[in-house]
A and B are shown apart, each in its own frame.
Chain A
Amino acid sequence: MTPLAVSLDVFGSLDFWIGVGLLAATYGIFTLGLQLNVGFTGVINFGQAGFMAIGAYTMAILVVEAEISFWLALGASILVAMAAGLIIGLPSLRLRADYFAIVTIAFAEIIRYTAVNARELTGGSQGIGGFDGAFLDLSDLMLEGLDSFGLGDQFLLPLLIVAVAVFGLLTVGMYFLQRSPWGRVLRAIREDEDAARALGKNAFAYKLQSISIAAALGAVAGWFLALNLAFISPTQFDPLFTFLGFAVLILGGLANYFGVILGAIILWTLLEGLRLMDLPLDASQTAALRYVLVGLVLIGLMAFRPQGMLGKRQEMVLGD
């Protein structure tokens, strides 16, 4: 092999695309919440990884420690995440948008440090596993069906199918929610909170709803992250992941839910492609290169299409 040869074989494998699809769907759902907050409400949420952690850990702990049914644990994890959204929103959403942003970063880090230190419950930095039995039963059923298409050995395919279906449904659901009178009030708050209040809208209540719905979406993303790895540990909820969510948001374009789909696919194809491509570099160089490339793509986008792929340029210009 010559030192400069780069193998693109990886893009031809089904495994690769299943992996990309799972990550894109997981962080796509994650970013739907950011789109709701940032794109449609004008609330800056830097704590989405914290809600994701709450979703994943609540589910895992309820199943493993409390031995509650997996399906019930899913529902409970959404409620816990939404409650967390309310708890951080209540004291801080009345503040200026930038204060709220800082509170959300702090919140997500508190959650992560709690996960590291509450070893009894979370397994600390060792993490926690063994929560996905009920899902694997379903997965096996699906694999039996997939076997007739010769895909019976694609062990992550059932999870991909479920994740993509959930991502699709949630995207369409959020799209219609945004087109409702409720969504119109959110947009007005994004534009000018005082104007909305002068017209009888309780801006604070809407912002609270926005953040708790985003928290619920973060929790759902947390399930898929956990099921994908069969295991969760605090490093998976690093603030970096919130910023990857923002990269998806900016790539796809603000204030467009379908842009989230596009942005998620592009970002994760890029990140996973670079990770798995045979580059003449060692592992740490590849890891660094991934983020360099994401940065370059974002810079290029800002230069040539600042509104993102599906964002509306006019809304961006008029927004300020």
Chain B
Amino acid sequence: MTEQAVPGEPDRAPEPAGDVDGEAILAVRDVAKHFGGIHAVDGASFEVRRGSITALIGPNGAGKTTLFNIVTGFQRGDRGEVIYDGASIFRRPPHVIARRRMVRTFQITKALAAMPVIDNMTLAAPDQPGEKLTGLIFRAPAARRREKEVHERAHELLDVFGLREKADDYAGTLSGGQRKLLELARALMVEPRLVLLDEPMAGVNPSLGRKLLDHMHTLRDRDGVTFLFIEHDMDVVMAHSDEVIVMAQGATIASGPPEEVRNDRAVIDAYLGASVA
């Protein structure tokens, strides 16, 4: 790769992340993606600090979801580079990226509706030898042991998210808000280092929404999980994020602490006339 330094962020060293606290767990450099004539993402560059809660904001159609798709491997970027945990994941397939413990949720919730809640959870656990046919045959005891651990962990998380009594119900019977919680709980089963949430609060009633935000802080504080979330509600963004990245028309136009970004001229301009909601 001979991609040049990032035009959008001249003053931040694009260092690959080590394990030192405060370094970038994710670095996106000059990523672009077009659909026909639409430049959905057009030179996006930013970093996400390890252990941070970072918000990605921008008007509708700014390219936030597309950027998530490129970072998580669901769409192929046209150009650019994505460094995660010190290695390039650009254009790698989604399951490979997820196995490196980067997990995402979707703007439109993907609860596995015709599967019970508990299966939604246990499914997500990594390192289950019984997920391979060879493992089922040759590592049956290990698979059984792992299955027990995974069930315990799933029940713990369902407890935390208030979904314990729903464990045996089909996920399709949950309310919209509960599905969002389930999707987050399920993501945590992956034992992630970085969680990407695409509009986690959309369509969630305020009390469930608060719960979701509380979980986010707890997980960050207790387990050091990093969060990058797309959010439209400015109050939520200002109150809950350490860093804010602003996108407009496919490019990242600003980033920094919430107060700083709020007063940024370019950000105010980008939002003028564009719907924030």
A residues with a Cβ closer than 8 A to B are: 177, 180-182, 184-185, 187-188, 190-192, 194-203, 209, 314-319
Contacts of B103 in A (CB 8 A): 198-200
Q: A181-B131, A192-B112 are in contact. Are A197 and B95 (CB under 8 A)?
A: yes
Q: How far is the CB of A85 from chain B (nearest CB, A)?
A: 14
- CB <8 Å contact, A182 and B106: no
Contacts of B74 in A (CB 8 A): 194, 197-198
- CB <8 Å contact, B106 and A194: yes
Contacts of A191 in B (CB 8 A): 112-115
Contacts of A182 in B (CB 8 A): 130-133, 136
CB-CB contacts below 8 Å: B94-117 with A = 94-95, 98-99, 103-106, 110, 112-115
Quick one: which of B72, B106, B123 contacts A188, CB cutoff 8 A? B123
16 interchain pairs (CB within 8 A)? A177-B136, A180-B136, A181-B131, A182-B132, A184-B122, A187-B119, A190-B114, A194-B94, A194-B110, A197-B94, A197-B95, A199-B190, A202-B93, A209-B133, A314-B172, A317-B172
Quick one: which of A177, A199, A314 contacts B98, CB cutoff 8 A? A199
Q: How far is the CB of B68 from chain A (nearest CB, A)?
A: 11
B residues with a Cβ closer than 8 A to A are: 72, 74, 93-95, 98-99, 103-106, 110, 112-115, 119, 122-124, 126, 128, 130-133, 136, 143, 147, 170-173, 186-187, 189-190
Contacts of A192 in B (CB 8 A): 110, 112
Contacts of A196 in B (CB 8 A): 123
Q: A181-B131, A182-B132 are in contact. Are A202 and B95 (CB under 8 A)?
A: yes
- CB <8 Å contact, B98 and A200: yes
Contacts of B123 in A (CB 8 A): 184-185, 188, 196, 199, 201
Q: How far is the CB of B169 from chain A (nearest CB, A)?
A: 10
- CB <8 Å contact, B115 and A198: no
Q: How far is the CB of A18 from chain B (nearest CB, A)?
A: 35
**Distance between Cα atoms of A314 and B133 in the complex (Å):** 29
Contacts of A200 in B (CB 8 A): 95, 98-99, 103, 124, 126, 190
Contacts of A190 in B (CB 8 A): 114
**Distance between Cα atoms of A181 and B232 in the complex (Å):** 38
For the complex of A and B, list the 8 residue pairs with the smallest distance between their C-beta atoms, beginning with the closest: A318-B172, A181-B130, A200-B98, A195-B110, A191-B112, A197-B94, A318-B113, A315-B114
Q: A182-B130, A191-B113 are in contact. Are A198 and B122 (CB under 8 A)?
A: no
**Distance between Cα atoms of A197 and B124 in the complex (Å):** 10
Residue in A181, A197, A315, A317 with the greatest tally of chain B CB atoms within 10 Å: A181
Q: How far is the CB of B164 from chain A (nearest CB, A)?
A: 20
Contacts of B172 in A (CB 8 A): 314, 317-318
**Distance between Cα atoms of A203 and B110 in the complex (Å):** 15
- CB <8 Å contact, B98 and A187: no
Q: How far is the CB of A109 from chain B (nearest CB, A)?
A: 30
Q: How far is the CB of B129 from chain A (nearest CB, A)?
A: 8
Residue in A180, A185, A201, A202 with the greatest tally of chain B CB atoms within 10 Å: A180
**Distance between Cα atoms of A279 and B130 in the complex (Å):** 54
Contacts of B132 in A (CB 8 A): 182
**Distance between Cα atoms of A297 and B94 in the complex (Å):** 44
Contacts of B171 in A (CB 8 A): 318
Beyond A181-B128, A195-B106, 17 additional pairs, beta carbon < 8 A: A177-B136, A181-B122, A182-B130, A182-B133, A191-B115, A197-B98, A198-B94, A198-B110, A199-B186, A199-B189, A200-B103, A200-B124, A314-B114, A316-B114, A317-B172, A318-B113, A318-B172
Q: How far is the CB of B196 from chain A (nearest CB, A)?
A: 10
- CB <8 Å contact, A180 and B130: yes
Q: How far is the CB of A179 from chain B (nearest CB, A)?
A: 10
Query: Which chain B residue has the least Cβ–Cβ distance from A187?
Result: B115
**Distance between Cα atoms of A67 and B2 in the complex (Å):** 61
**Distance between Cα atoms of A192 and B74 in the complex (Å):** 14
Q: How far is the CB of B211 from chain A (nearest CB, A)?
A: 22
Q: How far is the CB of B208 from chain A (nearest CB, A)?
A: 20
Contacts of B187 in A (CB 8 A): 199
Q: How far is the CB of B118 from chain A (nearest CB, A)?
A: 10
Query: Which chain A residue has the least Cβ–Cβ distance from B183?
Result: A195
Contacts of A315 in B (CB 8 A): 114, 170
- CB <8 Å contact, A181 and B147: yes
Contacts of B115 in A (CB 8 A): 184, 187-188, 191
Contacts of A203 in B (CB 8 A): 95
Contacts of A181 in B (CB 8 A): 122, 128, 130-131, 136, 143, 147
- CB <8 Å contact, B95 and A201: yes
Quick one: which of B112, B122, B130 contacts A195, CB cutoff 8 A? B112
Q: A182-B133, A184-B119, A194-B74 are in contact. Are A199 and B114 (CB under 8 A)?
A: no
Q: How far is the CB of B166 from chain A (nearest CB, A)?
A: 14
Q: A185-B123, A200-B190 are in contact. Are A318 and B170 (CB under 8 A)?
A: yes
